[in-house]
Each structure stands twice: as C-alpha cells, then as structure tokens.
Amino acid sequence: MEENKHKHVISFTTRTCMRLGTTFFLVYLAVTWWKPLLNLLGKMFSAAAPLLIGFALAYMVNILMSVYEKHYFKKRSGEKWVQKSRRAVCLILAIATILGAVVLLLCIVIPQLVKALNLITQQIPGLLQDLAQNEKIMEILPEEIQDAIQKLDYQKLVEGIVNFLTNGANSSPGSGIASLTSLLGSLTSGFMTVFMGFIFSIYILLGKEKLAGQFRRLFRSYLSTGWVEKIDPFLSVVDSCFHSFIVGQITEGIIIGVLCAVGMWILRLPYAPMIGTVIGVTALIPVLGCYLGAIVGALMCLSVSPVKAIEFLIFIFCLQQLEDNLIYPRVVGTSLGLPGIWVIASVSVGGGIGGIVGMVFAVPVTAAIYQLLRMDVQKRERADSRKMTAADVVGKLKKDADK
C-alpha cells in the first residue's frame, strides 16, 4: 500500500510539472510572438468572414422562417407536397420579407434625407449671415473675431465643407482618383463578402437539421459524456437568449418608432413618419441608438426651422428617458429574463469595450451568462439541501439508536 501511494505521488508530481511547464511555454510564446499571432488571427478572421456572416444571416433569417413554417398549410401538414415545399417556400418568403422591409425603409428615408441636407446647405449661409448681423451676439465677441465674421463668404464656406466631406482633406485630382479607386475596391470586396455569406446562409438553412445532427455526432464521438451533457444546455440557453433579444429588440424598435411618429405629429413637427422610421431603425442599437437617430432627425427639422429642431431635441430627450427607464428594460429585459439594471449595465460595459457592436452583443451575452449562473446556483443549492437532508436523517437515526 505504501509503495502504491509513493508511486501515485510521484506520478501526480510529474504530471503537474508537465502541465506547469507547458503553460509557461505557451505564455512565453504568446508574449514573444504576440504581434505575429494577432496578424495571423486577423487574416484567419478575414478569410472566415463570409462563413461568419453566413452563420449570422442564417440565424436571423431562421427566426422568421420558423414562424412561416409553423403556419404553412397547418391543416395539411401531413401531405407530401406540403412537407417537400415547406422549407424552400418559407425560406423564400422570409428572405423576401426582410429584403422588402429594408428596401421600404431605404425608399422612405434616403430621398427625404437628401432633400433635408440640400435644404440645410442652402439655408446655412443665410442663417450665418443673420447671426453675423445680430448686434447682441456680436457685442459679446472680440473685435478681431467680428471683423473675421464680417469678411467671411458663407456660401464658399459651406461649399468647402461639403467638398471636404465628399473628397476628403486632399483635394488634388490624383488623390481624388486614388480615393475613388480605393472606395470602389472596398465596396466591391465588401459586397462579395456579404454575397458569399448570403449564399452560405441559404445552404445552412436548407439543411439545418442535417448540419445540427452532424455536429451532435462529432460531439458524441470526440467528447466525453459529461462534456456533451454540459454543451447541450449551454447551447440551448445561448440560442434562447439571442432569439429573445432579436425579437425583443425589433419589438422595441417598432414601439419607439411609432411613439416618435405619433408624438411628432401631435407636436406638429416636420417629417414625422420618416423621422419615426429612422428612430425605430436606430433603436436596434440598445439604449443609445435613439440618440443616433436624433442627430438625423434634428438635421431634418433644422432644414425647416431652428426652433423646430430645438423642439424635436427636447421631445426626443424625453422619449429617450422613457425608453431607457421603462420600455427597453421591460420589453427586452423581460423577454430575456434579465433584470433592467443588468441590461443598462451590460450596454454601458459593452459600449466601452466594443463600441456600437459591443452594445448590440452585450445584452444577449450578459443574459446567457446570467441564465447559466442562475441554473448552476440553483443546482448547487438543490445539492446542498439534499446533503443537509441526508445528514439530518443520519443524525436522527443515531439519536434513535442511542435511545
């Protein structure tokens, strides 16, 4: 027995040393080759971008496609022609619905936005001239600044700003052509990446059951039973959180967009339907998206009147407070099972880490972690209660034996 224990201690010590040595070696490689490693990961991510986009598109389209499949000739679901045509027809309907919604939004927003920007560029010179002629404001400024303002050609100033935003800081012909070529190359590359991802998503959706079955077989073949039992509930929770987040976010966007349009119509503010649409779309960005839409709405109201722009900003600020404290935590937070305080906290932290993309993914990720932790805590509490119950039974039996 003593020899076996001694051998076990030696084996355990050797294994531990090997693990520590491997860990230190990997840390050394990571520190020494950190920049090449990041470059390699960046190239791998860039190469896998169509696949990642395809998975993301497939996941979002599948939400709508599943709804169509549930209602596709429900009373005749047992017939062969219904079973054979359900997947293809519902996939086409889901893609057509999403594309139709996107085209409709663009047709509503873009023409009105271009019109508003044209009006702003035409009215800004007059507004600046009126400001320069305002004696009360000019008295506050130093004489040098007053002289500079009086000598400005406001029309050329606005044209210069528009030209800068259009062509960039370098206005030479060569740089303009180079910038245009670079822009066209980036747009073509991005379009091809999205297009390949779209094609990949269609293949995923057409054979999603077969693909899921293949992954299950891989897990069962190469992982232990314990790991398989842990992966299934983990994936189920993550899927549930992301599904609820997407549905809740779209619902919240529709609510805030309708409230914005109705409120602007009551206050007789211009472009109420279009600005309401913009606010609803930008509300897909958690919590802070409404502020991004407010910038566009304020510019459009400014094309009519500065007073209307100020009234709109006051209105959208009040609406944003309603969204942050009531609508968003209740609609999205309730659908995720995540308390409102954690919704706001996750958006703040996610925005600080990853910007807008971090804000979008922070809420479902936090919800998944919250649900997994709650499940683990409940499991541990049940185990502890069972141990206490067993201990109580043993204690009672001992007392009875002593008696």
Percent of the chain residues past pLDDT 70, beyond the cut = 71
Report how far residue 387's alpha carbon sits from residue 159's, in angstroms, rounded to the nearest whole number: 78
Q: Is the pLDDT of residue 74 over 70?
A: yes
Indicate the pLDDT class of residue 336, thresholds 50, 70 and 90: low
Decide: residue 30, CB within 10 A, 0-12 exposed, 13-18 middle, 19+ buried: exposed
Between the alpha carbon of residue 240 and those of residues 70, 206, 234, 251, 320, the distances in Å are 18, 21, 10, 16, 28
Between the alpha carbon of residue 378 and those of residues 32, 239, 372, 381, 383, the distances in Å are 43, 21, 10, 5, 9
Task: Write down the mean pLDDT value for the chain.
Answer: 76
CB atoms closer than 10 angstroms to residue 138? 15
Q: CA 246, 102, 328 angle in degrees (round to 5)?
A: 30
* Beta-carbon contacts of residue 282 (< 8 Å; ≥ 6 apart): 289, 290, 292, 293, 296
* Beta-carbon contacts of residue 346 (< 8 Å; ≥ 6 apart): 338, 362, 363, 365, 366
373 versus 228: the higher-pLDDT residue is 373
Per residue in 274-300, pLDDT (tens digit) is 888 888 888 877 666 777 788 888 878
Token reading at 331: 């609609």
Q: What is the pLDDT of residue 7?
A: 46
Phi, psi of 175 (to 5 degrees): -70, -35
Is residue 362 within 8 Å of residue 351, measured between CB atoms?
yes
Token reading at 264: 């602007």
Report how far residue 105's alpha carbon sits from residue 89's, in angstroms, rounded to the nearest whole number: 24
Phi, psi of 339 (to 5 degrees): -60, 150
Report how far residue 278's alpha carbon sits from residue 282's, in angstroms, rounded to the nearest whole number: 6
Closest by alpha carbon to 70, among 58, 82, 59, 81? 82
Report how far residue 176's alpha carbon sits from residue 167's, in angstroms, rounded to the nearest whole number: 6
pTM: 0.68
Question: What residue has token string 């609406």?
Answer: 319
* Beta-carbon contacts of residue 49 (< 8 Å; ≥ 6 apart): 193, 197
Report how far residue 348's alpha carbon sits from residue 169's, in angstroms, rounded to the nearest whole number: 34
Q: How many helices (DSSP H) and strands (DSSP E) are in the chain?
A: 15, 0
Q: What is the pLDDT of residue 294?
A: 85
Q: What is the pLDDT of residue 351?
A: 76
CB atoms closer than 10 angstroms to residue 356? 13
Closest by alpha carbon to 245, among 164, 363, 158? 363
Q: What is the pLDDT of residue 378?
A: 82
Report how far residue 361's alpha carbon sits from residue 347's, in angstroms, rounded to the nearest whole number: 9
Indicate the pLDDT class of residue 97, thresholds 50, 70 and 90: very high
Highest mean pLDDT (candidates 3-17, 108-122, 248-262): 248-262
Least confident of 3-17, 143-157, 175-189, 376-390: 3-17
Per residue in 304-330, pLDDT (tens digit) is 778 888 999 999 888 888 877 777 666
Q: Is the pLDDT of residue 172 over 50?
A: no
Q: What is the pLDDT of residue 383?
A: 76
Mean per-residue pLDDT for 235-259?
85
Q: What is the pLDDT of residue 179?
A: 60
246 versus 355: the higher-pLDDT residue is 246
Look at residue 329 and give its three-state secondary structure: helix
Decide: residue 118, CB within 10 A, 0-12 exposed, 13-18 middle, 19+ buried: exposed
Per residue in 128-158, pLDDT (tens digit) is 666 666 666 666 666 666 666 666 665 566 5
Token reading at 73: 């000739």
Q: What is the pLDDT of residue 343?
A: 73
Radius of gyration of the chain (CA): 30
